[in-house]
């Protein structure tokens, strides 16, 4: 059963735990039908400089800035410091285990929200960046795979058996935008 995230983009049921895609060996896909991305220079990277504004007030230079800032209450010192970080790498550091600390309760809550936060970030990025939106739509029906060797949740991992959640969300958003247009 599909549900609607805050962004209005339909998501598969309980995307944070399992999807139809996560049993796939991503490395076994036909390369002609797959777009692999990982580099910070990739147009589909969360480090890509396609910024957006949320709630008409706070500007985020990248999806990474938004994602990391959303680990903390909107408007808090931590949130605003991350949002204004000089680089996406710095935003990731500040929101990561060596940056601002989250309580175990906040971490648990974050882990249930993180997919919806990313979904919302990607939608805002698409709505406010015509070039990025066009590039996403131009991928057609090809698989989008974040080829991170270390990340088995957001990427496919070194063995290709990861969830590839970022790739799944991009494909989900692409379908939503194509239906809407």
pLDDT digits (tens, 9 = 90+) for 41-81: 899 999 999 999 998 889 999 999 999 999 999 999 999 99
55 CB burial (10 A radius; 0-12, 13-18, 19+): exposed
Q: Is the pLDDT of residue 5 over 70?
A: no
Higher pLDDT, 24 or 90: 90
Q: What is the CA radius of gyration of the chain?
A: 16
User: How confident is the model over 82-101, as a mean pLDDT?
Assistant: 96
**Domains of the chain, first to last:** 24-47+130-181 (1.10.357.40), 51-128 (no CATH)
Say how many C-beta atoms besides its own lie within 10 A of residue 147's C-beta. Answer: 22
Q: Is the pLDDT of residue 10 over 70?
A: no
Report yes or no: 68 and 95 within 8 Å, Cβ to Cβ: yes
> What are the φ and ψ backbone dihedral angles of 59, each rounded to 5 degrees?
-100, 130
Tell me, what's the pLDDT at 18? 40
Per-residue pLDDT tens over the stretch 121-132: 999 999 999 999
Number of H helices, E strands in the chain: 6, 6
Tell me, what's the pLDDT at 13? 36
Residue position matching structure tokens 């400089």: 49
pTM of the full structure: 0.86
- Find residue 58's DSSP bridge partners: 54
User: How confident is the model over 15-27, as a mean pLDDT?
Assistant: 55
Torsion of Cα atoms, 22 then 23 then 29 then 33, to 10°: -40
81 CB burial (10 A radius; 0-12, 13-18, 19+): middle
Tell me, what's the pLDDT at 157? 94
Higher pLDDT, 163 or 10: 163
Tell me, what's the pLDDT at 149? 95
**Mean pLDDT in the chain?**
88
């Amino acid at each position: 059963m599909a549900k609607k995230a805050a962004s209005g983009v339909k998501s598969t049921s309980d995307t944070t735990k399992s999807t139809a895609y996560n049993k796939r060996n991503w490395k076994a896909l036909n390369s002609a039908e797959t777009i692999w991305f990982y580099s910070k220079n990739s147009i589909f990277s969360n480090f890509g400089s396609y910024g957006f504004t949320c709630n008409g007030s706070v500007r985020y230079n990248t999806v990474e800035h938004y994602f990391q800032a959303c680990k903390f209450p909107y408007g808090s010192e931590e949130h605003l410091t991350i949002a204004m970080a000089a680089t996406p790498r710095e935003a990731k550091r500040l929101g990561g285990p060596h940056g601002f600390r989250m309580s175990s309760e906040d971490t648990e809550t974050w882990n249930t929200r993180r997919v919806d936060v990313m979904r919302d970030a990607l939608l805002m990025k698409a709505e406010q960046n015509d070039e990025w939106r066009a590039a996403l739509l131009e991928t057609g029906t090809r698989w989008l795979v974040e080829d991170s060797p270390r990340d088995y949740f957001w990427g496919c991992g070194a063995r290709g058996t990861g969830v590839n959640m970022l790739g799944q969300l991009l494909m989900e958003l692409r379908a939503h935008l194509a239906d809407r247009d």
